[in-house]
């Protein structure tokens, strides 16, 4: 396994939650991190800004670039890739972490919200990958990592929230397409999904304190993402990974350290066996 020292990692939605955790894990190797997110001014609901994330990255030993980005804006996505190359000399990985969620059926999903999920989830993953591909091809270990689930065509994943499911499965389908398209260039494309719910603002919004207590911390996703990003891009592509499986393959056996409440029952995440709607 290589390290990420001197590598440049672009991460969308990296000002907080899973995105920031991945950024800090990579920064501990001495990586360059492009924090691509919207928040530049703190608010009660979103107190962490892209500038705060860069400070934490640099405190960990990495280098950071704060770049304000709405991932639905194609021009800004292009500018982000350009800024990354101008600042750090290239791009070695793009992590498509930004996401939008609304767990409602078709009848009760406003078209505006459907467009938001499609724009932030599948379209933005496409745009960010497309903007980074020319630079990833120049890397000696280029990776595209997208936070999306294994595809399970069980009707229950569509009956209650088809709009969200379509957007997330679209991201995984993009991973499969990119893996084939970029195989000869040695650029990997993989997806990563958590085995359990993760203690983020989105989970708290959906399930409150009880769901948070049944979740794992963002660190498990960060460690799993790191393992993928440091793997050989020519040997490891086209996979739909689950975080726990990645870490077990790395020899990890203690998963209590990731639990918000060690010993407390855990809630399987959506799209996985045992998950509840």
- The residues assigned a catalytic role are 164
- 18 phi, psi to nearest 5 deg: -60, -40
80-84 long-range CB contacts below 8 Å, 24 or more apart?
80/10, 80/34, 80/36, 80/128, 80/131, 81/10, 81/131, 81/132, 81/135, 83/34, 84/8, 84/10, 84/34, 84/135
Query: Cβ neighbours of residue 128 under 8 Å, at least 6 residues apart?
Result: 10, 12, 71, 77, 80, 94, 96
Phi, psi of 264 (to 5 degrees): -80, 145
- Quote the radius of gyration of the chain (alpha carbons, Å): 17
Give 234's contacts (C-beta < 8 A, 6+ positions apart).
Answer: 186, 188
41, 65 contact by CB (below 8 A): no
Please state the φ and ψ torsions of residue 123, each to the nearest 5 degrees. -65, -40
Distance CA 142, CA 176 (A): 16
């Amino acid at each position: 396994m290589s390290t990420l020292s001197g590598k440049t990692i672009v991460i969308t939605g990296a000002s907080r939650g899973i995105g920031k955790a991945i950024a800090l894990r990579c920064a501990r190797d001495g990586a360059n991190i492009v924090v691509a997110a919207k928040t530049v001014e703190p608010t009660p609901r979103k107190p962490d800004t892209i500038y705060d994330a860069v400070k934490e990255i640099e405190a960990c030993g990495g280098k950071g670039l704060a770049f304000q980005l709405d991932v639905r804006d194609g021009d800004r996505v292009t500018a982000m890739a350009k800024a990354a190359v101008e600042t750090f000399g290239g791009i070695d990985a793009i992590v498509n972490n930004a996401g939008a969620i609304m767990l409602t059926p078709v009848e009760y999903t406003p078209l505006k919200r459907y467009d938001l999920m499609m724009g932030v989830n599948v379209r933005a993953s496409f745009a960010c990958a497309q903007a980074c591909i020319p630079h990833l091809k120049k890397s000696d270990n280029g990776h595209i990592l997208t936070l999306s689930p294994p595809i399970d065509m069980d009707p229950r994943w569509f009956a209650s929230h088809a709009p969200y499911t379509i957007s997330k499965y679209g991201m995984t389908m993009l991973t499969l397409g990119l893996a084939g398209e970029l195989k000869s260039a040695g650029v990997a494309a993989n997806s990563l999904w958590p085995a359990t719910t993760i203690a983020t603002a989105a989970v708290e919004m959906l399930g409150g304190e009880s769901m948070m207590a049944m979740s794992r911390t963002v660190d498990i996703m960060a460690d799993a993402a790191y393992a993928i990003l440091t793997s050989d891009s020519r040997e490891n592509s086209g996979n739909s990974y689950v975080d726990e499986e990645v870490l077990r393959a790395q020899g990890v056996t203690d998963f209590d350290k990731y639990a918000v409440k060690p010993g407390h029952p855990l809630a399987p995440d959506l799209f996985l066996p045992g998950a509840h709607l």
